[in-house]
Structure 1
Amino acid sequence: MLRKLVLAAVVAAAGFSSAHADDLLSKKWDDIVTQAKQEGELNWYVWYNLPEYREYVKSFEKEYGIKVNLPEVSSAADAQKKLLAEAGRATGDIDVLAMGGDATNVIDVTKVFYGPILKTLPDSGDITDKINGGDGKGYSIAYWGNQTGIAYDSNRVDAATLPQTLDELSAWMEKNPGQLGFNYLNGGAGQSFLHNVGRNVLGVTPDTKLSATPDMQPVWDWFNKRKDQFVITASNADSMTRINSGEFLLVPAWEDNLFSLIKKNEVGSHIKIYLPKWGMNGGGNIVAIPANSGHKAAAMVFISWLTSAKVQSDFSKLYGASPTNTKADFSQGLIPADQRQYTRSWTQPLPRDEVLGGFAKNVVEN
């Protein structure tokens, strides 16, 4: 909350207001494209897939004649720090900023970013400003979806026997002790598993709005009763290494990460992933235009292109991302399209920090 207030205060002091930046949002789309071509370039700050993105955006550059610069960015946090540091400048270096979708919970998007842009974009009815538990309020747009699921060794596990409910998981673990591994630190896949097992143990539906954290003791009892049936791994990466080597049959995993590991031949193609009916969390990343961007039209055209059905289909095919445009091709991902209905939110209904802290205290340290 303090970070949000500080950032909003700095922007306000600098006199930035996305509502008064110019009349760009009132223009016809063709006129915005014309202005974008006149601006000629933009700077996209994103912290991952930089080599891949630098190659892929060449198609945008060819189509629009607008240069896309992708500076080296070490992390999402560093990019946001730069946004904060430049808030007092009339024109900042960042034209398009990528962030985790939940960043909108700590940044006042209406003060920091230009917009709202959603309704101005041609595909506004097919894209979203809400992802990963965050609400971009039309100022930030989802462009990268990621999904956690359960990776399995298809050489040794028949897909028809994969556990789909909590009761089936309990029976599977009893039958296959030590063959389920998951992390609770250093990566979100195992955390998603804990969150959704906990929700199912308590009988809490995904859309339940809780006014307070319920008594979690039944959850800790569930795990403690089965301590000899699972293995806690060090991280997402550790889980993937160990299932690939044959130590485990099931581990929580990220779809896009598994896709990348298989593509790099670091994990075999026999490791597959599914989304069980008990649910696993999905999230994703957003892009937004800083209020002091010097290339707002170019940034808007780029975001429109980035979130288009064509690009979103390509991101699924090339990188294993979950499309954020409803018109995209959802058949390209590792998780079957008919299973995506079981995706769950990171923020509802159980608080993630309390689940993780409680698991550490009442299970790991018990």
Structure 2
Amino acid sequence: MLKKLALSVAVAALAAPAIAQDLSSMSWDEIVAQAKEEGEVNWFVWYLQDDFRGAVKAFEEEYGITVNIPEGTQAANNDKLLAERDREAGDIDVMAFSFNQVAVWDLPSLFMPLSDVLPEDVGRTYSLNGSDAGGYGVGYWGNQTGISYDPAKISEEALPQTPEDFAAFWAANPGKFGFNYEKGGSGPSFYQNIFRNLTDVDYESGEQSDEKLAATQPGIDFFNEHAENYVVTASNADSITRVSDGELWMAPGWEDHVAGLQRKGEVRSEIKFYVPAMGMNGGGNAVSIPVNAPNPAAAAVLINWLASPETQTSFNVNFGTAPLNAAADSSNALVPADQRANSRPWPAKPFRDDLEQKFVEDVILER
């Protein structure tokens, strides 16, 4: 596979940049024809590689285009993209990245403008929770943090919705709610939104200052005041496992993670999931075409397929994702459609790093 990938990149090296520049002047039928001539596409995605290799078989059968998904971490893929940006032709055709990167990267210098290339689809997602890819990236994977709970222990009507509700639940049911502070973002999402509701701080600005950090003290005080009544877990996975096993009644989690574990039979199917009214962080991942992609037409066809209503519906059913095409069917989602309005953006960095460090020092280490 690696030899084949290297050979295809070498062969395409001279022609690729010209093709990439010409896509915007081509009709969609011409792009699809060019994609079939290219014959393959290299999709760099850092998670669920084996699952995606199975998912894209439908695309390969429909278009006769081979999808190569190399192994690689998020950091390694990001580093590779930046390291290759000055090459005439790189190795990456389709680059997957978190919408959080929109605030970090100069998208026009790295990627082709997809809005000029893809066929019209008003349902596509180009911005998510305040992160706007400006037409250079299209959403294909929506994720949402929320609260997993055992409906045999707590009814839907009694679910906590505010910081005060959670404090009351903890007091009435000590040791039955747990959250992680590391090894996964669901726990941090929970405490960050408690902070949001108790403080007057601009969490969407990454600006750092001692005064801004000090203003989060009401959140610190809240968790310290109720420290005896909640449990600190080891990770996202530990939290949901302990809910499924009955040790905990409620714990933060990721919608797609919980759905995936239920699909594999590793978490009880009875476990439910909700996004409280106080809000919890959500986001997602996008795909783009690097300006020096060796197979840009095939990349465009794959991205159009990934972002389509049909594929977004399939991802919701099979992976538990939040659909990122308005025409997709979300009826199989763990999160009811009306609760999507409770999604919040992640606090901006570098302030978020300061906040998480303060939480560890002033709450976790004080327990």
TM-score above 0.5, yes or no: yes
**Structure 1 residue 23 and structure 2 residue 22: aligned?**
yes
Change (3 A) 1:132 1:69: farther
Q: Which runs of 5+ in 2 are unaligned?
A: 1-15
TM-score by length of structure 1 reads 0.88
Q: Distance in 2 between matches of 1:128 and 1:205?
A: 25
1:194–1:355: 8 Å Cα contact kept in structure 2?
Answer: no
Secondary structure at the aligned position of 1:146 is classed as strand
Partner of 1:50: 49
SS in 2 for 1:139: coil
The 2-side partners of 1:216 and 1:203 are apart by 8
2:163 aligned partner: 166
Letter paired with 1:180: F
Deviation, 1:136, is 1.9
Structure 1 outlier segments of 4+, above 6 Å: 17-20, 204-212
How far apart in 1 are the matches of 2:222 and 2:350? 16
| Match of residue 234 from structure 2 | 234
CA contact (8 A) 2:114 2:136 kept: yes
Q: Mean Cα displacement is larger for which, 87-96 or 149-158? A: 87-96
User: Residues 56-111 of structure 1, C-alpha deviation per residue, up to 9 Å, x if partnerless?
Assistant: 212112222222111222x1111122223333432211100111221222222111
Q: Is the 8 A contact 2:208 2:351 kept in 1?
A: no
Q: How does 1:220-259 map to 2 (within 5 A)?
A: 220-259=220-259
> Within 5 Å, which residues of 2 pair with 1:281-300?
281-300=281-300
Query: What corresponds to 1:13 in structure 2?
Result: none
Q: Judge conservation of contact 1:133–1:283 (CA < 8 Å) in 2.
A: no
Distance 1:348 1:86, change over 3 A: closer
Measure, in 2, the Cα distance between the counterparts of 1:267 and 1:335: 17
* Paired position in structure 2 for 1:191: 188
**1:1-366 → structure 2 map (5 Å cutoff):** 21-73=20-72, 75-113=73-111, 115-131=112-128, 134-202=131-199, 213=212, 215-347=215-347, 351-366=351-366
* Greater displacement, 131-140 / 166-175: 131-140
Letter paired with 1:93: D
- Partner amino acid for 2:186? A
- How far has the Cα of 1:204 moved from its partner? 6.3
- 1:173 deviates by 1.4
In structure 1, runs of 5+ residues without a counterpart are: 1-16
Q: Tell me the equivalent position of 1:3.
A: none
Q: Equivalent residue of 1:286, what SS?
A: strand
Shift in Å, 1:326: 1.0
| Residue pair 1:146, 1:283 contacting (<8 A) in 2 also | yes
So what's the TM-score if we normalise by structure 2? 0.88
Quick check: 1:316–1:322 contact (8 Å CA) kept in 2? yes
Fraction of identical pairs, as percent: 45
For 1:314 and 1:239, the matched residues in 2 are separated by 27
Contact 2:201 2:216 (C-alpha < 8 Å) held by counterparts: no
Name the CA shift for 1:240/1:89 in 2 (closer, same or farther; >3 Å).
same
Report the AA paired with residue 40 of structure 2: E
Counterpart code for 1:191: P
Task: Please report how far the alpha carbon of residue 318 of structure 1 lies from its aligned counterpart in structure 2 after TM superposition.
Answer: 0.6
**Which is further off, 178-187 or 196-205?**
196-205
Cα deviation code 1:152-175 (max 9, x no counterpart):
112211122111122222211111
Aligned mates of 1:187, 1:121 — CA distance in 2: 34
| SS across alignment from 1:359 | helix
State the AA in 1 paired with 2:81.
Answer: L
Over residues 131-158 of structure 1, what are the superposed CA-to-partner deviations in whole Å (9 max), with x where a residue is unaligned? 3653322111111000000001122111
CA distance in 1 between counterparts of 2:221 and 2:93 reads 50
- Give the counterpart letter for 1:190 in structure 2: G
